[in-house]
């Protein structure tokens, strides 16, 4: 059963959908879906709608909602780093619906996960645990490193890359320039601009996502180009699989052929985002579950930082579980990837709530 | 400013299908519109502008009911099971819902891109509508579906500095064509494009019931809104307007001097189009 709901947050009305299973798997427990993107509660390719329905079919109540200023909700969007009031209001609303014994699991994707981590100090009961999918911890340096390590170098080992180069389907000079540019960026010290630059348009999840996509669209091979790391004028690709939306040139012939430039995602990345996200996770004492897509540079960037910082060790004794979804892209575009993400979510949900039961 | 009641709800779209609706109802509303969203990811990409435009219309005493077609957005069903004939009927159900919730007698349709084409297909020849607003309709839906399917194809990219690394890293694309995808649909397969599952039922019904936009006949005041930064509106829109004018002498062609927003993300402000539409509705109502 799906219910249209509305609740206030800082004087604004937020709208969402509450999915209520006929036979809930667990009494009083519910999952709050904190979307990334920034997208609406429906998401690219209806990702959040479809995954919420899948989870509900498994007996998990789910609330997904529009942030202030997005989708149907009132107000102005101020960016994920300021989403605290929206998140707190959503948790309060859902807990109110579940009753005094409510246990709320926070599920999030991309910058939704960053928002969750940045607000980690708030997450006391009824919040029972966090499930973070492909968390966004962008920095120019981190992105370049992830790109080189996980994408470019892997492809250099692939015979099809050499076939393209030798058949002049790519310009070897421009490939070399682009490669050396990435190496320079990856080697930059943070003071050399390796960190985020809030003044640049499009440094939010949009610009990052243009480099993450496996442009695989629902299982088909990569389409469209991936831009050089950190270019603020790259295509406005969101956190969906497709790196570029349908270009005007592909539209009817008389359409204006305006270049697909990044409009600049409203709200900027806070300074030192990667460190702040990790600090938030390290300070969070509840159960933490990670779901990471195999073909997603954002996830790779996060995992690299998570490992080099030793965040898992710093969280002891609270363990972190990690599920890897081979082949999946950033937003689980293909139906099979959505199912895999829901499988991993359901397993994480059980672990979080079983742990909570033991603790009581 | 008139007080505007906003509410979100599920309503019966016919055949027991629950459709998601969002109503903007100003206290002093004199006219109402049902908004028909565009296809697939365009719905997602254009929602910011559509919501803001609906709020602008509500400020101008025009009620708006936005709804999701079955298999889209938050409405019931999967796109894989959708049917264009049912979508057309759903426009009628949405109009009935708008009338019931607002008590308004003067209601009409407003659509964007494929939503405009579907709205026109519904409205063609009807005498119970009071107005119609069509944002950048397509000449016909065959073009729309070809564009949509083409997104699935591997593209031959011209390498430049920005793209070089990515193009080099792109694995070899499978050799498919729009024709082969259409054949797959005819063979009963699901063709997943950017995460949207398309099947023959929807594909065939969109094309079978379609007619060129320029051949539609409206028994009410209508307005075309064309988007483009150039001095003149896009040629396709001028051609549609010219073809319709003989049968619709009062047909307005409004040029919103801004870039398209439905084909890209995070373009939420479409002030020219919203203002022009509100202004036209005030005169037409």
Q: Which of B5, B97, B112, B195 to mutate to test the interface with A (most CBs of A within 10 A)?
A: B195
Helix (H, G, I), strand (E, B) or coil at B148: helix
Give the span between the Cα atoms of A190 and A277, in whole angstroms.
16
- How far does CA A72 lie from the centroid of its chain? 21
Judge if the upstream peptide bond of residue A251 is cis by omega within 30 degrees of 0.
no
Distances (CA, A) of A339 to A44, A122, A138, A309, B81: 16, 30, 27, 31, 19
Neighbours of A8 (CB within 10 A): 12
Residue burial A182-202, b: 16+ Cβ < 10 Å; e: rest: beebbebeeeeebbbeeebbb
Q: Which residues does residue B223 pair with via DSSP β-bridges, in sequence order?
A: B133, B252
Range of weakest confidence among A180-194, A232-246, B81-95, B205-219: A232-246
Does residue B26 have a pLDDT over 60?
A: yes
**For residue A242, is pLDDT > 70?**
no
- Return the DSSP state at B233: P
How many angstroms separate the CA atoms of A27 and A307, rounded?
36
Tokens standing for B145?
Answer: 């579906």
Q: Which of A74-88, B21-35, B135-149, B155-169 has the lowest mean pLDDT?
A: B155-169
CA distance A33 to chain B (A): 15
Residues of chain B found within 8 Å of residue A237, distances taken between Cβ atoms:
265
CA B6 to chain centre: 21
Pairing mode, strands A12-19 and A62-65: antiparallel
Q: Do A43 and B171 touch (CB under 8 A)?
A: no
**What is the per-residue pLDDT for A319?**
72
Is B74's CB within 8 Å of A238's CB?
Answer: no
Q: Are A149 and A229 in contact (CB under 8 A)?
A: no
Pick from A99-108, A147-156, A232-241, B188-197: least confident: A232-241
Which helix (H) or strand (E) segment is A208 a member of? helix A205-212
Q: Is pLDDT of B223 > 80?
A: yes
- H/E stretch holding B48: helix B41-59
Residue % of chain B over a pLDDT of 70: 91
- Return the structure tokens found at B205: 């019904």
Interchain CB distance below 8 Å, B8 and A15: yes
Q: Is the pLDDT of residue A259 over 50?
A: no
Strand partners, B99: none
Percent of chain A with pLDDT strictly greater than 90: 50
Look at residue A87 and tell me whether its pLDDT is greater than 50.
yes
Put simply, the answer to whether A72 touches B228 (Cβ < 8 Å) is no
Tokens 């005030």 map to which residue?
B282
C-alpha span between A87 and A106 (Å, rounded): 10
For residue B54, what is the nearest residue in chain A, using CA coordinates?
A72
Q: How far apart (Å, rounded) are the C-alpha atoms in residues A100 and A169?
A: 63
Pairing of strands B191-193, B196-198: antiparallel
Residue with tokens 């943070």: A190
**Tokens matching residue A2:** 């799906």
DSSP letters spanning A267-279: S-PPTTHHHHHHH
Would strands A288-293 and A127-133 be described as parallel, antiparallel, or unpaired?
Answer: parallel
Q: How confident is the model at residue B138 (pLDDT cuts 50, 70, 90)?
A: very high
Tell me the chain A residues in contact with residue B268 when contact means C-beta distances shorter than 8 Å: 77, 266
More confident residue, A345 or A194: A345
Phi (first) and psi of residue B38, to 5 degrees: -80, -175
For B259, which residue in chain A has the nearest alpha carbon? A258
- CB contacts < 8 A (A, B): 234
Q: What angle do CA B190, B191, B194 make, to 5 degrees?
A: 130
The tokens of B132 are what?
Answer: 């119609």
**Alpha carbon of B193: minimum distance to chain A alpha carbons (Å):** 6
Q: Does B22 touch chain A (CB under 8 A)?
A: yes
- What mean pLDDT comes out for the span A173-182? 67
Looking only at Cα atoms, what is the longest distance across chain A?
67
The predicted pLDDT at position A265 comes to 59
| pLDDT score for B258 | 87
At residue B9, what are phi and psi to the nearest 5 degrees? -160, 165
In sequence order, the β-bridge partners of residue A16 are A5, A65
In this complex, do B167 and A177 lie within 8 Å of one another by their Cβ atoms?
no
Shortest distance, CA B234 to any CA of chain A (angstroms): 6
| Rg (alpha carbons) of chain A, rounded to whole number | 20
Do residues A278 and A310 make contact, with C-beta atoms less than 8 angstroms apart? no
- For A265-276, letters b (16+ CB in 10 Å) and e give bbbbbbeebbbb
Rounded mean pLDDT, A115-119: 93
Tokens 């001097």 sit on residue: B257
Going by pLDDT thresholds of 50, 70 and 90, the confidence category of residue B271 is confident
b/e B197-234 (16+ beta carbons within 10 angstroms → b): bbbbbbbebbeeebebbbebebebbbbbbbbbeeeebb
Tokens at B2, concatenated:
């008139």
Are residues B90 and B69 in contact, defined by beta-carbon separation less than 8 angstroms?
Answer: yes
Q: Which of residues 40-99 of B touch A (CB under 8 A)?
A: 41-42, 44-45, 47-48, 51, 72-74, 79
d(CA A206, CA A265): 6
- Spatial distance between the Cα atoms of A280 and A267, rounded to a whole number of angstroms: 20
Chain B contact set for A35 (CB, 8 A): none
With a cut of 70, say whether residue B220 has pLDDT above it.
Answer: yes
Q: Which of A254, A262, A266, A297 would best serve as a mutation to test chain B binding (most B beta carbons within 10 A)? A: A254
Residue in B193, B60, B143 with CA at minimum distance from that of residue A251: B143
Is the pLDDT at A231 greater than 50? The verdict is: no
| Contact check, Cβ <8 Å, A240/B41 | yes
* Calpha distance A4→A109 (Å, rounded): 22
B140 to chain A, any CB pair closer than 8 A? The answer is: no
CA dihedral B23, B26, B32, B38 (to 10 degrees): -40
Q: What is the mean pLDDT of residues A240-264?
A: 31
Provide the greatest CA pair distance for chain B.
60
Q: Which of A177, A246, A256 lies closest to B230 in CB terms?
A: A256
Could you give the ipTM of this predicted complex? 0.92
Among the listed ranges A56-60, A75-79, B216-220, which one has the minimum average pLDDT value?
A75-79
Find the residue in A nearest to B47 (Cα).
A71
CA distance A42 to A4: 13
> What gap in Å lies between CA B74 and CA B86, rounded to an integer?
17
Average of per-residue pLDDT across A165-194: 62
Angle, alpha carbons A218-A220-A222 (nearest 5°): 110
All residues of chain B having their beta carbon less than 8 Å from the beta carbon of residue A220 are: 152, 154, 173-174, 176, 192
Reduce the DSSP state of residue A15 to 3 states and report it.
strand
Nearest CA-CA distance, residue A339 and chain B, Å: 13
> Which tens digit of pLDDT belongs to each residue from A302-343?
999 999 888 887 886 567 889 999 999 999 999 999 999 999
């Amino acid at each position: 059963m799906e219910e249209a709901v509305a609740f206030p947050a800082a004087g604004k009305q937020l709208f969402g959908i509450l999915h209520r299973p006929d036979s809930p798997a667990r009494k009083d427990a519910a999952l709050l879906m904190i979307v990334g993107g920034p997208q609406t509660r429906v998401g690219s390719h209806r990702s959040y709608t479809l995954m919420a329905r899948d989870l509900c079919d498994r007996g998990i109540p789910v609330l997904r909602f529009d942030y202030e200023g997005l989708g149907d909700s009132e107000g102005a969007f101020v960016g994920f780093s300021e989403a605290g009031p929206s998140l707190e209001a959503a948790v309060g609303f859902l807990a109110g619906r579940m009753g005094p014994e409510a246990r709320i699991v926070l599920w999030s994707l991309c910058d939704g996960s960053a928002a969750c981590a940045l607000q980690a100090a708030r997450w006391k009961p009824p919040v029972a645990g966090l499930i973070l999918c492909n968390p966004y911890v962008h920095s120019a340096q981190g992105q370049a490193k992830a790109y080189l390590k996980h994408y470019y170098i892997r492809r250099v080992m692939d015979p099809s890359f050499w076939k393209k180069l030798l058949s002049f389907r790519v310009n070897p000079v421009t490939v070399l320039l682009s490669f050396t540019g990435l190496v320079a960026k990856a080697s930059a010290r943070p003071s050399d601009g390796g960190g985020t630059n809030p003044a640049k348009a499009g440094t939010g999840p949009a610009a990052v996502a243009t480099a993450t996509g496996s442009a695989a669209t629902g299982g088909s091979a990569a389409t469209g180009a991936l831009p050089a790391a950190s270019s603020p004028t790259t295509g406005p690709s969101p956190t969906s699989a497709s790196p570029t939306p349908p270009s005007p040139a592909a539209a009817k012939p008389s359409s204006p052929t305006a270049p697909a430039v990044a409009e600049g995602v409203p709200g900027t990345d806070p300074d030192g985002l990667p460190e702040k996200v990790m600090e938030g996770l390290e300070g969070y004492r509840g159960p933490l579950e990670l779901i990471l897509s195999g073909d997603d540079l954002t996830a790779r960037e996060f995992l690299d930082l998570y490992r080099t910082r030793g965040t898992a060790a710093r969280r002891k004794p609270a363990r972190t579980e990690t599920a890897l979804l081979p082949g999946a892209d950033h937003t689980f575009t293909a139906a099979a990837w959505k199912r895999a993400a829901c499988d991993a979510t359901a397993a994480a949900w059980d672990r979080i709530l079983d742990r909570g039961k033991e603790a009581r | 400013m008139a007080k505007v009641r906003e509410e979100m709800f599920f309503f019966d779209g016919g055949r027991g299908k629950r459709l998601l609706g969002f109503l903007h109802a100003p206290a002093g509303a004199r006219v109402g519109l049902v908004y028909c969203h565009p296809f697939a990811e365009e719905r997602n990409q254009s929602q910011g502008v559509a919501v803001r435009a609906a709020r602008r219309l509500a400020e101008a005493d025009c009620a708006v009911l936005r709804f999701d077609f079955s298999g889209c957005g938050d409405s019931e069903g999967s796109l894989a099971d959708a049917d264009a004939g049912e979508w057309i009927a759903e426009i009628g159900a949405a109009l009935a819902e708008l009338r019931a919730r607002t008590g308004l007698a003067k209601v009409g349709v407003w659509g964007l891109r494929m939503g405009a084409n579907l709205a026109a297909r519904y409205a063609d020849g009807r005498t119970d509508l009071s107005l119609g607003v069509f944002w950048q309709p397509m000449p016909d839906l065959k073009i729309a579906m070809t564009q949509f399917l083409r997104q699935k194809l591997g593209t031959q990219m011209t390498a430049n500095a920005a793209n070089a690394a990515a193009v080099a890293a792109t694995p070899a694309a499978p050799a498919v064509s729009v024709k082969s995808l259409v054949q797959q649909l005819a063979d009963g397969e699901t063709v997943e494009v950017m995460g949207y599952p398309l099947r023959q039922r929807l594909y065939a019904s969109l094309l079978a019931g379609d007619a060129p936009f320029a051949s539609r006949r409206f028994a009410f005041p209508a307005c075309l809104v064309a988007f483009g930064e150039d001095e003149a509106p896009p040629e396709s829109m001028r051609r549609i307007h010219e073809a319709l004018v003989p049968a619709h002498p009062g047909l307005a062609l409004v040029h919103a001097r801004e870039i398209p927003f439905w084909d890209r993300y995070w373009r939420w402000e479409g002030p020219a189009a919203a203002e022009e539409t509100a202004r036209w509705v005030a005169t037409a109502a």
